[in-house]
């Protein structure tokens, strides 16, 4: 379809050198006499030649492209990762093939992206199915998980220690004398997810000699703002005086909902959120929150991937399997 008229061959002919020499010039190979290089450069300029990355990819078996699998691009949590990934990728001259992998489409998406011969993969999201694992292994494509973890522990990942983070945040609530803290999230975090969000909650309970009360574990339909209403009411109906909420939109929604119903935050109910996206600052009162370094997680994941993709034998480099970045807890006005 593209009428890429001028090829490396045209340049070679016009410059009266071989294709190989043009290729060397284009690729910055040093074994070219300066005068030859100049001559070729001039012709490239004159002919307005642009290398065809597809041909290059086929011939060299490297596409300088990485695939990014992202569950929801309009979710600030994920798009912040993506920004970090993109910045580092640009730095290393990799392009990004990005695919939104909503509900259950991840397998198709991964297969497709792999058929495009990406040099590597950054995988964001929750689920890592066997099928996906199989595809990745079959093609021997380097992969790094960001903001999640490999249950089998084989794939390198970058994330924070959510278990400690949640435990710390919830303990802080208990330490303030709050008796009952609810745990609110979308379904995927109401089980022992690998990053231990729910486990952190249980840990905090345990360390304060409290039993897990299922009436305080509230499940929202998903993590978006509008899913907060129902669960917000459940929170009001419960005996909780505080809530640890996974997902900033959900937390903002719950906070707004309970206030609309006449309760005061944090006087009547304290709220802690989990991701410190700009939403936690926009909503009033501003939310106390766990603050994972989202951009950095993406950036580190991409940096690790470049190493994995590098020519130098990876064996030499020490690549941690679990890269745990530090988090902060930012105390704002939604807690006492």
Interaction between residue 237 and its own copies (CB under 8 A): no
> Interface with its own copies includes 83 (CB under 8 A)?
yes
Q: What CA–CA distances, in Å, run from 14 to 28, 56, 283?
A: 20, 21, 63
Q: Among 175-183, 204-212, 237-245, 275-283, which window interacts with its own copies (CB under 8 A)? A: 275-283
Q: Which of 73, 236, 263, 330 binds its own copies (CB under 8 A)?
A: 73
Taking the complex as a whole, the smallest distance from the CB of residue 16 to DNA amounts, in Å, to 7
33 binding partner (options DNA, its own copies, none; Cβ < 5 to 8 Å by kind): DNA
CA dist 305 and 309 (Å) reads 6
φ/ψ (deg, to 5) at 294: -60, -50
Q: Identify which of residues 120 and 156 has a Cβ nearer to DNA in the complex.
A: 120
Residue that the structure tokens 């009428």 belong to: 3
CB count within 10 Å of CB 293 equals 18
Q: How far is the CB of 60 from its own copies (least distance, A)?
A: 9
- Pairing mode, if any, of strands 288-291 and 242-245? unpaired
Stretch of 7-15, 16-24, 134-142, 319-327 lying at the interface with its own copies (CB under 8 A): 134-142
Residues at the site binding DNA, with contacts judged by CB under 7 A: 4, 7-9, 16-21, 23-24, 26-27, 30-37, 49-52, 55-56, 58-62
How far, in Å, CA of 335 to CA of 164, rounded?
A: 19
What pairing do the DSSP bridges indicate for beta strands 120-124 and 65-70?
parallel
CA quadruple 207, 208, 213, 216: dihedral positive or negative?
negative
DSSP code string of 171-223: HHHHHTT---EEEEE-GGGSS--TT-HHHHHHHHHHHTT----GGGEEE-SSS
Distance CA 115, CA 92 (A): 22
Q: Contact between 281 and its own copies (CB under 8 A)? A: yes
**Using rule CB under 8 A, residue 249 touches its own copies:** yes
**Contact status: 312 vs its own copies (CB under 8 A):** no
Cβ at position 54, least distance to DNA in Å: 7
Q: Where does this chain bind its own copies (CB under 8 A)?
A: 1-4, 48, 50-55, 57-58, 61-63, 65, 73-74, 76, 79-80, 82-83, 86-87, 90, 93, 95-100, 105, 111-117, 119, 138-141, 224-225, 249, 252-253, 256, 278-279, 281-284, 309
């Amino acid at each position: 379809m593209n009428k890429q008229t001028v090829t490396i061959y045209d340049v070679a002919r016009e410059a009266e050198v071989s294709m190989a020499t043009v290729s060397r010039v284009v690729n910055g190979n040093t074994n070219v006499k300066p005068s030859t290089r100049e001559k070729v450069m001039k012709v490239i300029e004159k002919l307005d030649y642009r290398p065809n990355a597809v041909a290059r990819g086929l011939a060299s078996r490297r596409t300088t492209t990485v695939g990014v699998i992202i569950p929801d691009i309009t979710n600030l949590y994920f798009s912040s990762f993506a920004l970090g990934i993109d910045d580092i990728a640009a730095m290393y001259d990799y392009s990004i093939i990005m695919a939104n992998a909503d509900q259950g489409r991840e397998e198709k998406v991964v297969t497709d992206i792999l058929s495009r011969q990406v040099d590597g993969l950054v995988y964001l999201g929750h689920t890592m199915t066997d099928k996906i694992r199989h595809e990745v292994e079959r093609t021997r494509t380097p992969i790094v998980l960001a903001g999640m973890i490999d249950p089998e522990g084989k794939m390198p990942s970058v994330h924070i220690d959510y278990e400690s983070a949640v435990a710390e945040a919830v303990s802080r609530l208990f330490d303030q004398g709050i008796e009952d803290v609810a745990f609110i999230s979308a379904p995927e975090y109401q089980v022992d997810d690998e990053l231990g969000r729910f486990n952190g909650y249980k840990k905090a309970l345990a360390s304060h000699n409290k039993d897990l009360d299922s009436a305080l574990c509230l499940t929202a339909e998903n993590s978006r703002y509008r899913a907060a209403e129902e669960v917000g009411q459940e929170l009001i109906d419960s005996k909780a005086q505080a809530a640890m909420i996974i997902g900033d939109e959900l937390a903002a929604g719950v906070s707004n909902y309970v206030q609309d119903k006449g309760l005061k935050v944090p006087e009547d109910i304290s709220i802690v959120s989990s991701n410190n996206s700009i939403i936690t600052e926009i909503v009033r009162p501003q939310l106390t929150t766990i603050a994972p370094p989202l951009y950095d997680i993406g950036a580190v994941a991409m940096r690790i991937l470049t190493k994995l993709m590098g020519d130098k034998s990876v064996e030499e480099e020490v690549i941690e399997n679990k890269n745990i970045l530090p988090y902060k807890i930012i105390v704002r006005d939604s807690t006492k």
